[in-house]
Copies of this chain bind each other. A is one copy, B any other.
Amino acid sequence: MKLASLKGGRDGRLAVVSHDLAWCVEAQPIVATLQAALDDWAAYEPQLRALAVSLETGGAPRRRFHEHDAASPLPRAYQWADGSAYVNHVQLVRRARGAETPASFWTEPLMYQGGSDGFLGPRDPIPLADPAWGCDLEGEVAVIVGDVPQGADRQTALAAVRLVMLANDVSLRNLIPEELGKGFGFFQSKPASAFSPVAVTPDELEGWRDGKLHGALEMELNGTELGCADAGVDMTFDFGTLIAHAARTRALSAGTIVGSGTVSNRGDDGGPGRPVAEGGVGYSCLAELRTVETLAYGAPRTGFLKAGDRVRIEMRDGRRHSIFGAIEQDVADS
């Protein structure tokens, strides 16, 4: 089942979307918003699935689905807990600022509490008040969970995954060192994130296994490929482990979004991997590319995002059909 939230109001209007993303039907007669559906998933899921079947078979009064009509599946959420499961990414970004990666990072997930009071829509501009902040995109996989009890183990946590989607975790790189230096984590350096137009139940994803989403995460910057790392590769901590980490000391409420962190694959030699232009799978953020450029040339050659830049994040299935729709955002002065 594929779900979207059409723009409208603070929480959007829940819609069921066809497998090929061509059609949709509003879920209003059943439940008005995705958060409301998640709040009582056992009651609503069967009804929404029945509507999805009806949509595929032509029984529902369908209309065209346009990705630019979609808000993020949860336009606002009660929690956005973003992991950093691709330790290759962590190593690269830390190397850029001359920091070692502690050995514990390979055995204990890193996770930060993100702002969730308002997400950008998948086609909304990224507002940037000051280009000196060093705006970057971060391509990720994210899941929405149901209620997770405190102390849940990995299996219980994994069973709570309701929906999977893609994320652009916008980051202000030049604000990060000072902010992390204060010791309280990210705040100003993480403005609003965006999620893919469509969220998909795990059973509909051929690449979903072992708590990971396998498949190339296609990253583009101004129409040029930035990366195509496989989200199922080099993910040190699967979503079950990430969710259990988040729930170690407190329960998680339905509608909590848990992120994978920036997707990142090591190179064949175990090193940072090569840019797309040099035959590698590239990167899911500019920070990694800039680090690799610095290692190669002594300084980064790629600038951070500026007004007018366009970023695109998408994943396709075995037949090259878009699974979640595309996050496609222009950077705009704000």
Contacts and interface: CB of A to CB of B under 8 A. Distances in A.
A116 to B, nearest CB: 6
B189 A249 contact: yes
A291 interface: no
A186 B189 contact: no
A180 B113 CA distance: 13
Given A133-B249, A150-B127, A175-B249, A117 B78 contact: yes
A251 interface: yes
Contacts of A112: 113, 184-185, 187
A182 interface: yes
Please indicate which of the listed interface residues A10, A84, A104 has the most CB atoms of chain B within 10 Å of its own CB.
A10
A284 B34 CA distance: 40
Given A117-B256, A249-B133, A250-B192, A184 B187 contact: no
Given A111-B184, A117-B255, A76 B78 contact: yes
Residue in A39, A81, A102, A187 with the greatest tally of chain B CB atoms within 10 Å: A187
Contacts of A172: 249
Contacts of A115: 79, 81, 113, 250
Interface string A160-201: 000000000000100100001011111111011000000000
Contacts of A185: 112-113, 183-186
A111 B189 CA distance: 12
A243 interface: no
Interface in A1-55: 10, 39
Contact of A184 (B39, B84, B104, B116): B84
A125 to B, nearest CB: 13
B127 A187 contact: no
A36 B255 CA distance: 18
A110 interface: yes
A131 interface: no
Interface string A228-258: 0000000000000000011011111101100
Q: Which of A115, A133, A150 counts the most chain B CB atoms within 10 A?
A: A115
Contacts of A255: 117
Contacts of A186: 113, 184-185
A102 B183 CA distance: 11
A118 interface: yes
A111 B187 contact: yes
A155 to B, nearest CB: 19
Contact of A150 (B84, B104, B175, B334): B334
Contacts of A127: 150
A46 to B, nearest CB: 21
Nearest to A334: B150
8 contacts: A76-B253, A78-B78, A78-B117, A81-B187, A112-B184, A118-B251, A151-B334, A188-B250
Interface of A: 10, 39, 76-79, 81, 84, 102, 104-105, 108, 110-118, 127, 129, 133, 150-151, 172, 175, 180, 182-189, 191-192, 245-246, 248-253, 255-256, 334
